[in-house]
Amino acid sequence: MKAFHTVAVPHTDILEGKLTMDVFAADLWEVSRNRGSEEYRDADTFFRKTYLTQGLENLINIVESRVKGKGGDPVVQIQTPFGGGKTHALIAMYHKAKSWGVNTVVISGTALGSEQTLWELMEKQLTGKIAKFSGANWLGKEGIIELLSDNQPVLILMDEILEYATKAAAVKVEATNLAALTIAFIKDLTEAMPNLDKACLLITLPSSIVEHYDEQAERLYQQLQKVSGRLEKIYTPVQDSEVVKVIRQRLFSSVDERAVKKFINEFMEFAEKEGLIPAETEPSEY
């Protein structure tokens, strides 16, 4: 029987013992700032270690069509079976947008404090300064349409917005708070997107109750779903059945499928002979 690592060859970082758990912590904000792990920051490395699922391929095609003025969904919410998969999909779209020559806006709720508003950040990333969208004013839906229209094609990537809204709830703004203003802004933004030919908004929200924080966050989550859900299409770039393939792509640089099958058959023969398989278990399922 061949040594397993000669049949399924691990990536170099694994062979050299350099793989650490923090590598799996995808961070869109760090990528957009050209910082962090090379396997996320460098587009070639990223896609070499990323299994391109059918859902992710569909998402790439939809967004490309939209930002190139060929139609498609203007607002997309991304959901995945596991939390980090959403951010991974946004990083894929960030790299694709750069290769297409598309302007990008990156908003990460985990990276941002409540001292800067989402509309200020959007204007600054597109124009290099904060001018019209300052303070509590973003000039409504028409103001957003004007800003984005002048900077098309544009892809807006909003990650972990619930986390930002939770922080913003503690910031008072006259008779309201920054979380309420943020939700109003997102409502205007989602309504503005269909009026633009070469613009697309991708947004992530928690897909299950286990990702929520407390009762206040739950209320904010419901509000965010309500204001964005009327116009958005929900995509799942990774299905449960594809998770194993995603992990395998990250672990191994090459896999000899015929040799792997032979290796498994030999191991199963040995396991059955030695009584290693539980009696109640069907060998083919094991």
pLDDT per position as a tens digit, 122-163: 999 999 999 999 998 899 999 999 999 999 999 999 998 999
Average pLDDT, the chain: 85
Instruction: Extract the tokens encoding 237.
Output: 């770039």
Q: How far apart are CA 133 and CA 168, in angstroms?
A: 17
Residues 264, 131, single domain; the answer is no
Q: How far apart are CA 231 and CA 64, in angstroms?
A: 19
Residues 60, 118, single domain; the answer is yes
Whether residue 162 contacts residue 222, with contact meaning beta carbons closer than 8 Å, is answered with: no
In angstroms and rounded to an integer, the radius of gyration of the C-alpha atoms of the chain is: 22
Q: In Å, how far are 61, 145, 189 from 198, measured between CA atoms?
A: 14, 12, 14
The CATH number of the domain holding residue 85 is 3.40.50.300
Average pLDDT over residues 237-253: 64
Q: In Å, how far are 64, 97, 126, 151 from 101, measured between CA atoms?
A: 11, 6, 14, 12
Give the pLDDT confidence score for residue 23 in this predicted structure: 59
Helix (H, G, I), strand (E, B) or coil at 139: coil
Q: Is the pLDDT of residue 4 over 70?
A: no
More confident residue, 209 or 162: 162
For residue range 171-188, list pLDDT tens digits in order: 999 999 999 999 999 999
Give the pLDDT confidence score for residue 200 in this predicted structure: 98
Average pLDDT over residues 22-34: 84
Residues 272, 175, single domain; the answer is no
Angle at 18 between CA 14 and CA 23, to 5 degrees: 90
Q: Is the pLDDT of residue 36 over 90?
A: no
Number of domains making up the chain: 2
Cβ neighbourhood burial of 209 (10 Å; 0-12, 13-18, 19+): exposed
Give the pLDDT confidence score for residue 149 in this predicted structure: 98
Whether residue 31 contacts residue 91, with contact meaning beta carbons closer than 8 Å, is answered with: yes
Give the pLDDT confidence score for residue 172 in this predicted structure: 94
Q: Domain of 284?
A: 257-286
Q: Is the pLDDT of residue 9 over 80?
A: no
User: Which residues touch 258 (CB under 8 Å, ≥6 apart)?
Assistant: none
Residues 235, 276, single domain; the answer is no
Residues 174, 274, single domain; the answer is no
Tokens 């290769």 sit at which residue? 99
> Where does the pLDDT of residue 104 fall: very low under 50, low under 70, confident under 90, or very high at 90 and above?
very high
More confident residue, 264 or 283: 264
Q: Is the pLDDT of residue 253 over 70?
A: no
The pTM of this model reads: 0.79
Task: Give the highest mean pLDDT range of 81-85, 111-115, 132-136, 146-150.
Answer: 146-150
In a domain? residue 275 = yes
Nearest to 40 by CA among 130, 106, 102, 112: 106
Residues 226, 269, single domain; the answer is no
In a domain? residue 251 = no
